[in-house]
């Protein structure tokens, strides 16, 4: 049996950076890192859904987020690699439905009709894949807004360039906090403070790993 960690955080918060530091940590040999399935969003039979969404979010938010839930279910169902016993998932099905979806509704990018259909679909998915969607710990990368916007600018993803606005990022922060605050007591949350340099985050990673080991009781 294995443990599952959800590695969460806003767009550009540093999830991939932190997961790379985990690969060099004292428990690296026990970890199976499953990165966000962005390649699938960029190539669905030759179609770049991520680019299409950012180009016309008011028309394609429902389409894109619905596909995200499908890929995230596969993300959850994937087994750890090479006999490891801790699965680390960069993003999850739950951030799609608890964070991004309500943000899209609030930003008027998903209509009430689309919202109701989305909820009907995801409620069925939650029931059908309940066992696969179980998790043991959330590690949340908490990053100041100015660092987030700088990270987005510096990584210069073609799809994101010029399309991600501050109000959208603030709304995502709001719904992340709301989701984390309402998690069951049985699910611990570790907040990684990414408010300095990458070198500082790398230096602090062993401390966060100790918290992870304690939270998972491994």
The model's pLDDT over 91-130, given as tens digits with 9 standing for 90+, comes to: 999 999 999 999 999 999 999 999 999 999 999 999 999 9
Query: What average pLDDT does this structure show over 144-159?
Result: 93
123-147 burial: b if 16+ Cβ within 10 Å, else e: eebeeebeeebebbbbbbbbbeeeb
Q: Is 1 a residue whose pLDDT tops 90?
A: no
Tell me the H-state helices in 23-111.
Answer: 38-42, 49-55, 57-77, 93-95, 101-106
Whole-number mean pLDDT of the chain? 96
What pLDDT score does 205 carry? 95
Q: Is 79 a residue whose pLDDT tops 90?
A: yes
Q: Is 198 a residue whose pLDDT tops 90?
A: no
Q: Please report which confidence band the pLDDT of residue 214 belongs to, taking 50, 70 and 90 as the band edges.
A: very high
Q: Is 71 a residue whose pLDDT tops 90?
A: yes
* Stretch among 68-72, 79-83, 131-135, 182-186 having the lowest mean pLDDT: 79-83
- The domains located in the chain, with CATH, are 3-216 (3.40.50.300)
202 is annotated as an active-site residue: no
Q: Please report which confidence band the pLDDT of residue 8 belongs to, taking 50, 70 and 90 as the band edges.
A: very high
Round to whole Å and give the CA distance between 172 and 165. 11
What pLDDT score does 136 carry? 98
Q: Which of 8, 36, 65, 90 is catalytic?
A: 90
pTM of the model: 0.95
What pLDDT score does 197 carry? 82
What pLDDT score does 83 carry? 86
The contacts of residue 57 (CB under 8 Å, 6+ apart) are 104, 109, 163
């Amino acid at each position: 049996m294995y443990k599952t960690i959800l590695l969460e955080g806003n767009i550009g918060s540093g999830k991939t950076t932190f997961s790379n530091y985990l690969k060099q940590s004292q428990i690296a040999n026990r970890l199976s890192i499953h990165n966000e399935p962005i390649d699938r969003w960029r190539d669905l039979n030759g179609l770049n859904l991520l680019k299409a969404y950012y180009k016309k979010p008011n028309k394609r938010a429902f389409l894109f987020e619905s596909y995200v839930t499908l890929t995230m279910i596969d993300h959850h169902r994937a087994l750890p690699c090479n006999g490891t016993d801790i699965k680390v998932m960069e993003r999850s099905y739950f951030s799609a439905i608890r964070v991004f979806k309500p943000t899209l509704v609030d930003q008027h990018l998903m209509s009430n009709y689309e919202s109701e259909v989305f909820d009907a679909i995801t409620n069925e998915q939650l029931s059908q894949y309940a066992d696969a969607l179980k998790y043991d710990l959330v590690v949340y990368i908490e990053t100041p807004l100015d660092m987030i916007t700088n990270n987005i600018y510096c990584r210069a993803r073609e799809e994101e360039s010029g399309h991600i606005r501050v109000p959208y990022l603030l709304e995502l922060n709001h719904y992340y906090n709301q989701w984390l605050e309402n998690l069951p007591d049985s699910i611990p949350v570790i907040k990684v403070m990414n408010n300095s340099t990458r070198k500082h985050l790398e230096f602090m990673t062993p401390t966060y790993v100790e918290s992870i080991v304690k939270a998972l009781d491994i």
